[in-house]
Structures are given as C-alpha cells and as structure tokens.
Amino acid sequence: MKWLVLATATAAATAAAATDPRRLQWEDNCVYNCPNEWIDDGACDLECNVEACNWDGRDCFHDASECFEQSNGADYRGKVDHTKSGRTCQAWAEQMPWHHTMTVFDYPDAGLGGHNYCRNPTGRESGPWCYTTDYPDVEWEECDVGEPKKCDASEPSLIASAQTRAAQYAKLDGRTYAKCEGTYKRSDDLIQGKPIWDRIDPDSSRFIFFCSGKWRVTGSQWREGLLAENGGSCGSFISSDDGAAEWYAANWDGAGAVAAAVAAPSDGLIPLKLREGADGHVKELEVVYYVASLPPSMQGVKVVLLPIQGDADLLLSFSEPRPTRSSATWLDESVGVKQFTLPASSEFFCGRKPSEDFEQGWQQRATLAAAAAVAEECKLHIGVSGFEEGDFKLFLYNYTQDAANAVAGGDM
C-alpha cells in the first residue's frame, strides 16, 4: 500500500512538472542556472561562461585579441589567466578565496566579470594583475601580458568595442524634412534582421527601420505594429535607395536628408531637459548617462528615476561626467522609485567646495537670478545603472516648484 501511495505521488509530481511552465523553464537553458537571455547580453556571467553556453557568447572575451595600446595595460582585454609567477587567477566575479571590491558594479568599463583574465581596473602603473587562488599566501600579483602594440581594426579588442559603442548613435540632418532630424540611438529590436534606431533628441517621436531593402523613418506610434509584423508591411515612408549594412551609411539625399554616424551625444551623455523627462532602457550592469543643464534661476533640483521593468540604480555627480559607484557623489541603490533632491542653497549644489562661503554664494546667486542677469549654467551628470534589465523613466524638476506640483498633481 505504501508503495502504491508513493508511486501515485511520484506520477502526480511528474505530471505537474510537465504542465507547469515555471518548473520547466530551466530545461530550455544551456545550463540550469544560465537563462538563455543572459548570453550575449553585454555582461560576462560566471554561470554562463562554460562550453555548454558557448562561453557566454561574446561577453567573456573568448574571441578577444592580446593587443592593447595604453602603457599601463588598462585597455588590455586578452586572455592571460595567471600571474608572472604562474599562480592561477581568481575570477573577478568570485569572492573566494579572496574578498574584494573589484566588481563590474564599481568598475563597469574595466572588462571585469565572470572570468579570471588579468585586468587593470584601477589603472596601476605596473600593469594588469589579478587576485590569485593561492590562499592564504598571495592575495594578488601582477601578470605578464606582453608589451603594448596597436590593435588592428579587424581584431576583436577594446578598440573594436569602443568603435561599436560609438556607432550606437547617429545624427540625421533633415534638410528638407526637418521633422526627422535629430540624434538616434540603436536599439536591440530587429526588423528584417536589422536594428531599429530610436530618436532620443529632440524627442522620441520618430524611429528608423529597415524594410524591403531600404532604410525608412516614421512616427514612433507605428513601432510595435511593425515589430509584430517584422517589417512585413513597410508603408509609405521617407526612405533611402541604399540598402547599406547600417542605416547611417545610407544615402539619404533622395529624401532631402543626410544621415551620418556620430559618437554618442555629448561624449555619451544624453541631454535631459527640465520637466520633459526621458524614456530609456538599460541592460544588466550597463550604465546610461545623462547630463542636465541647471540654469541659475533654479531654486533646487529634483531627479526621479521610475523603473518600469526590472530595476536600476541612480548615480549623480556635478564633477564626474560618467559617474560610477566608486566616483559618484550621490548613489541610490534602493529598490523601486529613486528620488534625489538638493536645494540650491546647499553647500554641495553645482559642485561647490566646503571651503566656500555658501551663504554669501547663495545670496549672490539669488540676486543675479532676481535681476535676470546672464550667468553660467552648471551641469548635473546622471547615471542610470542597470541592476536588472528593463525600461525606465527619468524626470528632472525645479525642486521647490515643478517637483511640488508634480507630486500634488499625481504626475509621478
């Protein structure tokens, strides 16, 4: 009887597993703890850096060359995994045998992650190094990665990666059709195998896509429908006659417009305008950077980060154009909505130094604003750091006026 009960319970459990998609999710993964969406997502995941997952695609530098150009090897992205004395390196994503703070969260551009290749995240003059697995004798040691040499453009290296990042943005000059001009950012969404480019400045009302051999531009209200059809119905849009590999290389003269590849706007900083807000998407461990110009008339600043999907952290600085967790003046890692407020009377507003006479500086600023005098703007640099991949909204308000109205009116 006990055997019959046990067999019946086992059969029921098996049937439940076969019909519950939550219990079968892992079976579709390359390994049980590496979801397929983690592969080639821009972050080297320790769990996915195995042969069964193709070494996490391109994320863990398995195809990288050994070339680097900086004298201290800060741009080295090769695969040396042992120190000068032959000790094996500890993976940067591991906290054993040595606990450390050299993580991708603190050094997002240093090539760290779920691998044990030598790196130089802090820019030591002595060159790349790593934590060793020789516990408790040797915590870290330098590596021999050779001498600097210029990277060939065809080699998968840091230089190639930098060029790829620069091509994530493009500017369209609408000579006879001004509605389309602006700066566009390449997205991860594809239509007919080619990426969609979304406009980020002056607004998000346009996007560019590839359909039936041509690059085309249209209003963002059609974006989801075209994705659903995968470009099956191109519609009647402004388009080029050149089916080049990237839309910015296409010839837009026939439509009265010219597209050109550009570096990320303002050196990677997306303009954030007062009260207009911005819609964005950030991948895990990625940081999206914004810059806000604060006029002298502002009585304070309020920044609100609203995660729509996933979760992201808020990094702020008046002095660092690309703040990280280690260099940001203010960091909010709480879960959910993040809010940062700072009155203009604060001793830290616009990057003032503690030695300044803040009361006198505030009175002078208020006097200039009241007299409508021309004064120099200061810039607030904002980083949105992806803890979990997802969409977000970012808002900038005048602290005492716009922010109060937004809260009272339920805009946030």
For residue 360, CA distances in Å to 345, 365, 366 come to 10, 9, 10
pLDDT for residue 118? 97
- What pTM value is reported for the model? 0.49
Using CA of residue 49, residue 54, residue 57, residue 62, what is the dihedral sign?
positive
Return phi, psi of residue 387, to 5°: -85, -45
Confidence of residue 411 (pLDDT cuts 50, 70, 90): very low
Neighbours of 146 (CB within 10 A): 14
Beta strand segments in 34-127, E: none
Check residue 91 and report its DSSP letter: P
Is the distance from CB of 78 to CB of 130 less than 8 angstroms? no
Using CA of residue 346, residue 348, residue 352, residue 358, what is the dihedral sign?
positive
User: Mean pLDDT for the chain?
Assistant: 74
Give the pLDDT confidence of 227-248 residue by residue, as tens digits. Answer: 887 777 776 454 443 333 333 3
Section 278-291 average pLDDT: 85
Rounded distance, CA 159 to CA 246, Å? 19
pLDDT of 314 over the 90 cut: yes
Is the distance from CB of 408 to CB of 321 less than 8 angstroms? no
Give the pLDDT confidence of 49-84 residue by residue, as tens digits. Answer: 999 999 988 889 988 888 888 899 988 999 999 999
pLDDT for residue 287? 86
**Closest to 349 in 3D by CA, of 328, 371, 378, 322:** 378
- Paired residues of 281 in beta bridges: 391
Locus of tokens 């934590």 = 131
Section 191-208 average pLDDT: 80
What percent of the chain lies above the pLDDT cut of 90?
A: 25
Give the pLDDT confidence of 156-174 residue by residue, as tens digits. Answer: 444 333 333 334 666 676 6
Of 17-26, 105-114, 198-207, the least confident: 17-26
